[in-house]
Chains A and B, each alone.
Chain A
Amino acid sequence: MINKTLAPPTERVIEEERLTPARGTLWRRLRKSPSAMLGLGIVLVFMGVGLLADWIAPYDPLRPDFGRAREGPSWDSPLGRDELGRDILSRIIHGARISLWIGFIAVAIGVVLGVPLGAISGYYGRLDIFVQRVVDIMLAFPGLLLAIVLISILGVGLSNVMVAVGVASIPTYARLVRGSVLSLREMDYVAAAKALGMSDGRIIFRHILPNCLAPIIVQSTLQVATAILFAAGLGYLGLGAKPPMPEWGVMLSTGRDYLRDWPHIATFPGLAIMLSVLGFNLLGDGLRDVLDPRLRGKL
């Protein structure tokens, strides 16, 4: 009896330590993973380029120069010129800003709407059944398809892409948070909080959600990559950003017409999409390993 009553608290202390490692530990452990560091490097470069686009882009990304249309890479234009003679490097640099925006806004929408939904669903058993059926329906559609459906309702345009991609990620967040909340709400400290007469809101937002932070951070990093990919896909299909906006998917789509004779027009935007998605994915994987080993293989 004595053993049984004493043992669980010890375990719990260890478990809680593992869930929220100290900041120093996090960084130290992340540094040990070369792939995560590579991902972080790519993400930092990508963010730096996006933020400083106006200063570092050598040319105006929208200004055509018909005399130089479809010109290959040169010292003057390291990635060459596109079908209207615009500098591809400058367009990719400005495209980084657009992709960054899409990624962060979409993730913010997903987090802001998905997390509370999941928390409420997990905490209140009675609502769970309804919320989770809605989530099931949304999860039944592949994410990109759901985004296309939303675009067809909202209309074509960049801001609608952010909304669509964000909304398409809500069910993922809702499901993820619900799972964590389901286990956390059975914890003794929650019972203690209830016994002290705390309101449900305070319990959810002050005591349960902070403990779900790790999977949310991991998911959000990976979700940025998904959002960039979806936005490029929508742009490629003509449902996202519109010409002449230097969005990578749009650049890929117009470059496709010239693929056989002037492959550089489509190749470089394609590489930009690939690299940025790779960066966020590597970083997300690394963070998951560090923050929440239990999630390995689940996301």
Chain B
Amino acid sequence: MHRYFLLGAVLVAAFLIPVTDTGGQQQVKIGGKLVVAQGTDAESVDPINFSASPTASIMEHIIQTLVRLDVEDRGGQLETTPKGVLAESWSVSPDGRVWTFNLRRGIKFHDGTDLDASVVKLSLERALHPDCAAPFRSAVLGRLAYSPASATTGTVADKNAIVWRANLLLGPEGNNVSVAIASGASLGVSVSGSAITVTAPAGTTAAAVIRAVNENAAANKLVWASNAPGSDGSGAVAPVTATRLSGFATSVEAPDANTVRITLASPFAPLLQHLAHTAATIVSAKRVREAIAAAPPCGKGLQDKVEGTGPFMLKEWRRGERMVLVKNPNYWERDAAGRQLPYLDEIEWRVIPDDAARMIELERGTVHIAVRVPPLDVPRLQRDPNIVLDFTTSVRTIYIGMNVRDRIPDTPTGAANPLADRRVRQALNYCVDKEAIVRTIMGGQARVSDAPIVPQVFGYAKVGPYPFDPARAAALLREAGVTLPLRLKMHHPRGRYVRDVQVAQAVQAMLGTCRIEVELIPMEFVSFLALINKAPSEAEHQLYLLGWGTITLDADYGLYSLFHSSQWPPGPFNRGYYKNDRVDALLQQGREEANPDRRKAIYAEAQRLIWEDAPWIFSHSESQITGIRRNVKGADVHVTERLILWQTWMD
């Protein structure tokens, strides 16, 4: 297992380490209130109900994961190492399927309750539950597709159909698997909610159907065993045990108070990276249990308040304005010198969407840390003796997604969509001068995308970029028979990404020179997310500017969620409804393959196909520029766009 991480670390080419030193030998000053300015507010503090990094950045101060990824500098070479947080140690079975985590003892939640294995189980199961539709369920935890009980019963609906019903829960992966079975045998499989109906040709007995399903399931490397002989088709109830639905099916168990056991159906090397994601944070069970009892299975009303084990406690949240965290006096972690953490008494996260206003507050000193410094402001801020700029790589790719369905909305009456034609999408890519965006808008503090993911991510393969070639664009548009000017709409957030409005306007101006007239619709980030999070039959969007940070540093997270056809909204992140069967198959293989070299080859092919299909205008990848007042020490900017402030103090 460890080898995987070393390998990943070598490929993680050039992370810049945080500038400030958190060495324990230094004299630190305890206390004080730190003010941090972000461009967007948190959406929610419920781990199953958020989707953006600025939210995670705050949440990770309140709630914690079993493990976290530390980025360390080893003589110029950077490595990511998983480090125990709530888990003190862990071990994995020789076959790589059973992971055992030993919890740290004596940890209390902010509400005074104890951390034990049952709480961990509750949090993880809630994150995995398909009905809860956590945005990151599939991206992060999809491998842990959750079946709460191993038994289900099949009933014979009529002579030739069996319906499995009840407590077998299906996610998007489940649906796919079922369809795969159907294509293998001459059986019809349909899934609706928690019921799977298998229909066989006339004259087949239910017993034969069950046998066929099982054989086929085995052929698909699925564990879908039946201990029942089935029924003769007379309508009698036949008990069937379907223990595993998906290749990644798993269970989370709590054999004793301090042990958590996660069982996977197949080995999954980057499990720790995935458990380090904010979506897998552990929340105090007290209110969650009450909420679930009131509104099973996920609970309601947990988005405004949370109790965790983190160094800070949520004190006050005025939406759209600020969130105040206060020191957790009983926090368990100590620094290298044995001092109790955190050093600060209070952190106030303020929402200042306007770049210029955020910088002014930083320069005046009313804000101590400001994220997302506009690149063009860098020279001025560098001259300011009171400000230190932190440059940290980001793994975030900025792109303009395209709705590729034939009609928008995708209903028989929807309008014909020119973007369904690959040539038009390629033309858009040729028409946008990415170099100019990086140079002019981003002040050189960005990198032109040459793949859907960035080089620091495992599995990256250089497949681009699309050169700036308006003549080629014009030729492709002609070939596609598009009437010019082509009119398109583009939704984009305001204040979420570095210079997002300016990037959108630049793309609009560039497309204008190719006689593609784009109407810009700027939106506040949270409502923008809601607009593009719709099923294709309801979706109205054509072009949408968005970013994606591959924060597990593995291609699976950066590609599967965005390009696999099982990941169409609502919920997941394939918001342009892209579908390519070969890409689907490759991305699935990449998930299942353990050999790193073979995975790289798989992802290289997938990226090449995606690149040719051009479901995005591939733009650029950002870098993080954070403005920090000089008197703030030990503020850590993580490569995954988190601020880490529990070892921060103010002079």
Which residues of A come within 8 Å of B, CB atoms? 62-64, 66-67, 69, 83-86, 238, 242-244, 254, 256-261
Instruction: Tell me the residues in window 422-442 of chain B with beta carbons closer than 8 Å to chain A beta carbons.
Output: 433, 436, 439-441
Q: Are A257 and B509 in contact, with the CB atoms below 8 A? A: no
Residue in contact with A69 in the complex, picked from B356, B374, B440, CB distance below 8 Å: B440
Q: With a CB–CB cut-off of 8 A, which chain A residues contact B513?
A: 63-64
Q: How far is it, in angstroms, between the C-alpha of A116 and the C-alpha of B276 when the chains are bound?
A: 71
Residue in contact with A84 in the complex, picked from B380, B439, B505, B519, CB distance below 8 Å: B505
A64-B506, A244-B509, A257-B502 given; A238·B440 CB < 8 A? no
A64-B506, A64-B510 given; A243·B520 CB < 8 A? yes
Q: With a CB–CB cut-off of 8 A, which chain A residues contact B355?
A: 257
B487 CB, min distance to chain A CBs, angstroms: 13
Q: With a CB–CB cut-off of 8 A, which chain B residues contact A64?
A: 436, 506, 509-510, 513
Chain B's closest residue to A85 (CB) is B440
Identify the 5 closest CB pairs spanning chains A and B, nearest first. Answer: A66-B436, A64-B509, A69-B440, A66-B440, A243-B505
Q: With a CB–CB cut-off of 8 A, which chain A residues contact B441?
A: 83
Q: Are A84 and B512 in contact, with the CB atoms below 8 A? A: no
Q: With a CB–CB cut-off of 8 A, which chain A residues contact B384?
A: none
Chain A's closest residue to B504 (CB) is A243
Instruction: Tell me the residues in window 514-532 of chain B with beta carbons closer than 8 Å to chain A beta carbons.
Output: 519-520, 522
Q: With a CB–CB cut-off of 8 A, which chain A residues contact B506?
A: 64, 66, 84
Interface of B is mostly: helix
Residue in contact with B512 in the complex, picked from A66, A244, A256, A257, CB distance below 8 Å: A244
Interface CB pairs A-B, < 8 A, 23: A62-B509, A63-B512, A63-B513, A64-B506, A64-B509, A66-B436, A66-B506, A83-B502, A83-B505, A84-B506, A84-B509, A242-B520, A244-B505, A244-B508, A244-B509, A254-B505, A257-B355, A257-B374, A258-B376, A259-B356, A260-B377, A260-B380, A261-B376
Q: Are B356 and A260 in contact, with the CB atoms below 8 A? A: yes
Q: Are A242 and B380 in contact, with the CB atoms below 8 A? A: no
Contact code string B309-327 (vs A, CB < 8 Å = 1, else 0)? 0000000000000000000
Residue in contact with A242 in the complex, picked from B436, B440, B509, B519, CB distance below 8 Å: B519
Chain A's closest residue to B437 (CB) is A66
Q: How far is it, in angstroms, between the C-alpha of A238 and the C-alpha of B519 when the chains are bound?
A: 13
Q: How far is it, in angstroms, between the C-alpha of A238 and the C-alpha of B520 when the chains are bound?
A: 11
Chain B's closest residue to A66 (CB) is B436
B436 CB, min distance to chain A CBs, angstroms: 4
Q: A64-B513, A244-B509 are in contact. List 18 more A-B contacts (CB 8 A).
A: A62-B509, A62-B512, A63-B509, A63-B513, A64-B436, A64-B510, A66-B433, A67-B436, A84-B440, A84-B506, A86-B509, A243-B508, A244-B505, A244-B508, A254-B505, A257-B502, A260-B356, A261-B380
Q: Are A238 and B522 in contact, with the CB atoms below 8 A? A: yes
Q: How far is it, in angstroms, between the C-alpha of A132 and the C-alpha of B356 when the chains are bound?
A: 45
B440, B510, B522 — which one has the most chain A CB atoms within 10 A of its CB?
B440
A297 CB, min distance to chain B CBs, angstroms: 40
Q: With a CB–CB cut-off of 8 A, which chain B residues contact A243?
A: 505, 508, 520
Instruction: Tell me the residues in window 493-514 of chain B with beta carbons closer than 8 Å to chain A beta carbons.
Output: 502, 505-506, 508-510, 512-513
A242-B520, A244-B512, A258-B376 given; A66·B439 CB < 8 A? yes
Q: With a CB–CB cut-off of 8 A, which chain B residues contact A261?
A: 376-377, 380
Which residues of B come within 8 Å of A, CB atoms? 355-356, 374, 376-377, 380, 433, 436, 439-441, 502, 505-506, 508-510, 512-513, 519-520, 522
Chain A's closest residue to B505 (CB) is A243
Q: With a CB–CB cut-off of 8 A, which chain A residues contact B505?
A: 83-84, 243-244, 254
Q: How far is it, in angstroms, between the C-alpha of A83 and the C-alpha of B504 when the chains are bound?
A: 13
B374, B509, B519 — which one has the most chain A CB atoms within 10 A of its CB?
B509
Q: How far is it, in angstroms, between the C-alpha of A67 and the C-alpha of B522 when the chains are bound?
A: 26
Chain B's closest residue to A156 (CB) is B521
A90 CB, min distance to chain B CBs, angstroms: 14
A63, A85, A256, A257 — which one has the most chain B CB atoms within 10 A of its CB?
A257
Q: How far is it, in angstroms, between the C-alpha of A258 and the C-alpha of B522 when the chains are bound?
A: 19
Q: With a CB–CB cut-off of 8 A, which chain A residues contact B519?
A: 242
B302 CB, min distance to chain A CBs, angstroms: 33
Chain B's closest residue to A253 (CB) is B501
Q: How far is it, in angstroms, between the C-alpha of A238 and the C-alpha of B524 when the chains are bound?
A: 12
Q: With a CB–CB cut-off of 8 A, which chain A residues contact B510?
A: 64
Q: With a CB–CB cut-off of 8 A, which chain B residues contact A66?
A: 433, 436, 439-440, 506
Q: Are B356 and A257 in contact, with the CB atoms below 8 A? A: yes
A61 CB, min distance to chain B CBs, angstroms: 11
Q: With a CB–CB cut-off of 8 A, which chain A residues contact B440?
A: 66, 69, 83-85
Q: How far is it, in angstroms, between the C-alpha of A63 and the C-alpha of B513 when the chains are bound?
A: 7
Q: How far is it, in angstroms, between the C-alpha of A244 and the C-alpha of B513 when the chains are bound?
A: 12
Q: How far is it, in angstroms, between the C-alpha of A259 and the C-alpha of B356 when the chains are bound?
A: 9
Q: How far is it, in angstroms, between the C-alpha of A238 and the C-alpha of B501 when the chains are bound?
A: 12
B376, B433, B441 — which one has the most chain A CB atoms within 10 A of its CB?
B376
Q: How far is it, in angstroms, between the C-alpha of A254 and the C-alpha of B355 when the chains are bound?
A: 12
Q: How far is it, in angstroms, between the C-alpha of A86 and the C-alpha of B355 when the chains are bound?
A: 22
A238 CB, min distance to chain B CBs, angstroms: 6
Q: With a CB–CB cut-off of 8 A, which chain B residues contact A254?
A: 502, 505
Q: With a CB–CB cut-off of 8 A, which chain A residues contact B380?
A: 260-261
Q: How far is it, in angstroms, between the C-alpha of A67 and the C-alpha of B440 when the chains are bound?
A: 8
Q: How far is it, in angstroms, between the C-alpha of A73 and the C-alpha of B380 when the chains are bound?
A: 21
Q: With a CB–CB cut-off of 8 A, which chain B residues contact A85?
A: 440
Q: How far is it, in angstroms, between the C-alpha of A257 and the C-alpha of B380 when the chains are bound?
A: 14
B380 CB, min distance to chain A CBs, angstroms: 6
Chain B's closest residue to A83 (CB) is B502
A264 CB, min distance to chain B CBs, angstroms: 15
Q: Are B356 and A256 in contact, with the CB atoms below 8 A? A: yes
Chain B's closest residue to A157 (CB) is B519
A155 CB, min distance to chain B CBs, angstroms: 11
Q: With a CB–CB cut-off of 8 A, which chain B residues contact A244?
A: 505, 508-509, 512
Q: How far is it, in angstroms, between the C-alpha of A256 and the C-alpha of B505 when the chains are bound?
A: 15
A81 CB, min distance to chain B CBs, angstroms: 11
Q: With a CB–CB cut-off of 8 A, which chain A residues contact B439?
A: 66
Chain B's closest residue to A64 (CB) is B509
Q: How far is it, in angstroms, between the C-alpha of A254 and the C-alpha of B504 when the chains are bound?
A: 12
Q: With a CB–CB cut-off of 8 A, which chain A residues contact B436?
A: 64, 66-67
B617 CB, min distance to chain A CBs, angstroms: 16
Q: With a CB–CB cut-off of 8 A, which chain B residues contact A84?
A: 440, 505-506, 509
B431 CB, min distance to chain A CBs, angstroms: 12
Q: With a CB–CB cut-off of 8 A, which chain A residues contact B356?
A: 256-257, 259-260
A183 CB, min distance to chain B CBs, angstroms: 50
Q: How far is it, in angstroms, between the C-alpha of A259 and the C-alpha of B360 when the chains are bound?
A: 12
Q: How far is it, in angstroms, between the C-alpha of A69 and the C-alpha of B376 when the chains are bound?
A: 12
Chain A's closest residue to B518 (CB) is A244
A67, A83, A85 — which one has the most chain B CB atoms within 10 A of its CB?
A83
